Amino acid sequence: MSIAETETAPPPWRQLLGYVRPHRWSLIAGAALSLVTGATGLLLPLVAQGLIDDLAHDRAITGALLAMSALIVANAAVGALGSYVLQRTAESVVLGARRALSSYLLRLRITAVDRTEPGDLMARITSDTTLLRAVTTDSLVGLGTGGLTLVATVVMMGLVDAVLLGVTLAVILGAGVILGVIVPRINKASRQAQDAVGVMGASLERILGALRTVKASGAEHREEIMLHEAAQESWRQSVRAAKWSAAAGNTAGLAMQIAFITVLAVGGARVATGAIDVGTLVAFLLFVFYLMSPIQQVVGAVTQYQTGAAALTRIQEALRLPAEPAAASAPLPSPGTRPAELAFEDVRFRYAEDLPYVHHGVTFTVPAQGMTAFVGPSGAGKTTVFSLIERFYDPDSGVIRLDGRDLADWELPQLRAAIGYVEQDAPVLSGSLRENLLLGNPEADDDALARVLKTTRLDGLVAKLPAGLDTLVGHRGTKLSGGEQQRVAIARALLRRPRLLLLDEATSQLDAVNEAALRDTVADVARTTTVLVVAHRLSTVTMADRIVVMDAGRVRAVGTHRELVTADPLYAELAATQFLAAAD
């Protein structure tokens, strides 16, 4: 699903001004320098007029030539400085947008992530923001300086000869009408081109995330076709935008040439009747020539803005996805050492309005300390219990309480600081083992690290690794076995000194050593922390102080293994088949 366009979005230019505002002074400085370049350029025709006069009256032209050379050099220097300042400012605008988007995307609600293509979001951060560079320099500055230069030039032309100015303006107005038709087409094509880049990003992400499966399925060719199609679509739309941009640019250029010829003809006639002299005509023609650049600038600004507006709209859409409130970047709040107490009260929940309910009134309580196992067939809603505790989602009705307090009343960082969460198939991030462990608590000291490694029986593994804790693991590093990965994830969670540990046991088989290590670890932790385990193994289940049996979004029974084997037929069946098989 793509990111939906929202009706109340402010126009793109407002958003652009928002990104530009922090850099307005350097932008104005750059624009002023460009203006000075334009203004010094404007003096040239006057100097030229003087030079021709001097020639006509047999006067020396050294002074005029020197003035002209000085002007040209000064013009170039100021122009270079101005262009540097502007480019730098434009890069800062891109940086600002990238930072805003990056911060925002890290705060996205999981619900928003569920419904968007990560690859498309990535394209919005990387590719769409890049387009803001050109829109800042070419559009904003182009419109400002080009517009001002244009007005100044027109005023000067009026002072030189009003009749010839009238002729010039008539031609320009004609071109303006044609441009009014062309410009909206650039916007549409640009938007489609950027959308296609987003589709490509989404495809790439999908393929690279499952490259082994794609290869094993012999699906490279079909995936290649999809990627090529997206690339081709972006090309097609960009070419369309380029076509209309070229048409716009050349309409302006053509108009200026027509203006030049018309001015030459009308001006020539006026020279013949003696209404103006040759110097005046030459000066005016030079002005027409100088008008070319600000007009190209303004037209460029308008066409460039169309591309930028398309990108800005895409950025804005990403910034309107539901997100969690911005958290202060404060260090982790001290979670305290008291084990947490948890209660679900008639919780109903579905992942989206168009999806069926996953929890139909789930109720259970977990006292502080000890271990509670959740068992039930796949799809029963066990993992969802954990997602709700972490507030990745909020229940549609009912209440979840931690320490008697509704989760909705907790500050999110405080809530999550109290919890250690080990996902089912918890990922090991690429980087060193140390980085992986410190992810949730970068301030943990070596003692704490050593303790946790011992608890999770990872100390043996670390001793064997070539570079110990600094061994690279995960993607592009040493691959850890499933059991080791899981214990790394547990160690990572424990380093946060959680008051509540959520452990979603991997369904994959563990070897006997890993299994025993895991069991001892959990037993250790449960002495000081409230532990919730989604369990798939009898060894885990029998250890539990209480077992919650879930089926189809409801709690069927709660009890100990001994009680449930006789009291609950589903549990008895699970115990007889799944658990026992897994325990072999």
Name the binder of 22 from Mg ion, ligand ADP, none, CB < 5-8 A by kind. none
- The least CB distance from residue 100 to ligand ADP, in Å, is 27
Q: Measured between alpha carbons, how far is residue 76 from residues 41, 63, 309, 335 in Å? A: 10, 20, 32, 63
Determine the interface stretch with Mg ion among 316-324, 380-388, 393-401, 560-568 (rule: CB under 5 A). 380-388
Q: Is the Cβ of residue 436 or residue 578 nearer to ligand ADP in the bound state?
A: 578
Please report the sign of the dihedral spanned by the C-alpha atoms of residue 192, residue 197, residue 203, residue 205. Answer: negative
Please tell me the distance from the alpha carbon of residue 338 to that of residue 52, in angstroms, as a whole number: 93
Each residue of 343-366: b (16+ CB within 10 Å) or e? bbbebebbbeeeeeebbebbebeb
Task: For the beta carbon of residue 435, count every other beta carbon within 10 angstroms.
Answer: 16
CA 338 to mean position of chain CA atoms:
39
CB-based contact 352:396 (threshold 8 Å): no
Number of residues that bind Mg ion (CB under 5 A): 1
Please tell me the distance from the alpha carbon of residue 149 to that of residue 56, in angstroms, as a whole number: 30
Which residues fall within 8 angstroms of residue 235, CB to CB, at 6 or more apart? none
Determine the interface stretch with Mg ion among 122-130, 254-262, 375-383, 448-456 (rule: CB under 5 A). 375-383
Task: For the beta carbon of residue 138, count every other beta carbon within 10 angstroms.
Answer: 22
Q: Is the Cβ of residue 114 or residue 220 nearer to ligand ADP in the bound state?
A: 114
Q: Measured between alpha carbons, how far is residue 236 from residues 196, 221, 359 in Å? A: 10, 22, 47
- The least CB distance from residue 534 to Mg ion, in Å, is 6
CA 446 to mean position of chain CA atoms:
35
- The least CB distance from residue 502 to ligand ADP, in Å, is 12
Q: Is the Cβ of residue 369 or residue 383 nearer to Mg ion in the bound state?
A: 383
Name the binder of 351 from ligand ADP, Mg ion, none, CB < 5-8 A by kind. ligand ADP
Q: Is the Cβ of residue 383 or residue 471 nearer to Mg ion in the bound state?
A: 383
Name the binder of 364 from ligand ADP, Mg ion, none, CB < 5-8 A by kind. none
Name the binder of 436 from ligand ADP, Mg ion, none, CB < 5-8 A by kind. none
Please tell me the distance from the alpha carbon of residue 515 to that of residue 207, in angstroms, as a whole number: 33
Which residues fall within 8 angstroms of residue 362, CB to CB, at 6 or more apart? 344, 346, 347, 348, 349, 381, 385, 398, 550, 553, 554, 555
Determine the interface stretch with Mg ion among 361-369, 376-384, 516-524, 572-580 (rule: CB under 5 A). 376-384
- The least CB distance from residue 358 to ligand ADP, in Å, is 4
Name the binder of 363 from Mg ion, ligand ADP, none, CB < 5-8 A by kind. none
Question: Which of 134, 104, 181 shows the shortest CA–CA distance to 312?
Answer: 134
- The least CB distance from residue 346 to ligand ADP, in Å, is 18
- The least CB distance from residue 501 to ligand ADP, in Å, is 17
Please tell me the distance from the alpha carbon of residue 329 to that of residue 106, in angstroms, as a whole number: 13
CB-based contact 480:492 (threshold 8 Å): no
Q: Does 377 bind Mg ion (CB under 5 A)?
A: no
CB-based contact 342:365 (threshold 8 Å): yes
Determine the interface stretch with Mg ion among 139-147, 383-391, 414-422, 445-453 (rule: CB under 5 A). 383-391
Question: Which of 100, 96, 133, 99 shows the shortest CA–CA distance to 22?
Answer: 96
- The least CB distance from residue 381 to Mg ion, in Å, is 9
Provide the terminal-to-terminal Cα distance of the chain, rounded to the nearest Å: 44
Name the binder of 355 from ligand ADP, Mg ion, none, CB < 5-8 A by kind. ligand ADP
Name the binder of 111 from Mg ion, ligand ADP, none, CB < 5-8 A by kind. none
Name the binder of 438 from Mg ion, ligand ADP, none, CB < 5-8 A by kind. none
The residue with its CB nearest to Mg ion is 383
Q: Is the Cβ of residue 138 or residue 568 nearer to ligand ADP in the bound state?
A: 568
Angle at 233 between CA 230 and CA 234, to 5 degrees: 90
Among the listed residues 26, 293, 383, 560, the single contact to Mg ion using CB under 5 A: 383
Residues 412-451, interacting with Mg ion (CB under 5 A):
none
CB-based contact 389:422 (threshold 8 Å): no
Question: Which of 313, 338, 321, 421 shows the shortest CA–CA distance to 117?
Answer: 321
User: Residue 363 carries which DSSP code?
Assistant: E
Q: Is the Cβ of residue 280 or residue 383 nearer to Mg ion in the bound state?
A: 383
- The least CB distance from residue 482 to Mg ion, in Å, is 16
Name the binder of 216 from Mg ion, ligand ADP, none, CB < 5-8 A by kind. none
Q: Is the Cβ of residue 273 or residue 378 nearer to Mg ion in the bound state?
A: 378
Name the binder of 379 from ligand ADP, Mg ion, none, CB < 5-8 A by kind. ligand ADP
Q: Is the Cβ of residue 114 or residue 406 nearer to Mg ion in the bound state?
A: 114
**Residues found near ligand ADP in the complex (CB under 6 A):** 114, 351, 355, 358, 376, 378-384
- 6 by Cβ neighbours in 10 Å (0-12 / 13-18 / 19+) ranks as exposed
Name the binder of 561 from Mg ion, ligand ADP, none, CB < 5-8 A by kind. none
Q: Is the Cβ of residue 111 or residue 383 nearer to Mg ion in the bound state?
A: 383
- The least CB distance from residue 525 to ligand ADP, in Å, is 21
Q: Is the Cβ of residue 97 or residue 502 nearer to Mg ion in the bound state?
A: 502
User: Residue 323 carries which DSSP code?
Assistant: B
Q: Is the Cβ of residue 289 or residue 357 nearer to ligand ADP in the bound state?
A: 357
- The least CB distance from residue 544 to ligand ADP, in Å, is 16
Residues binding Mg ion (CB under 5 A):
383
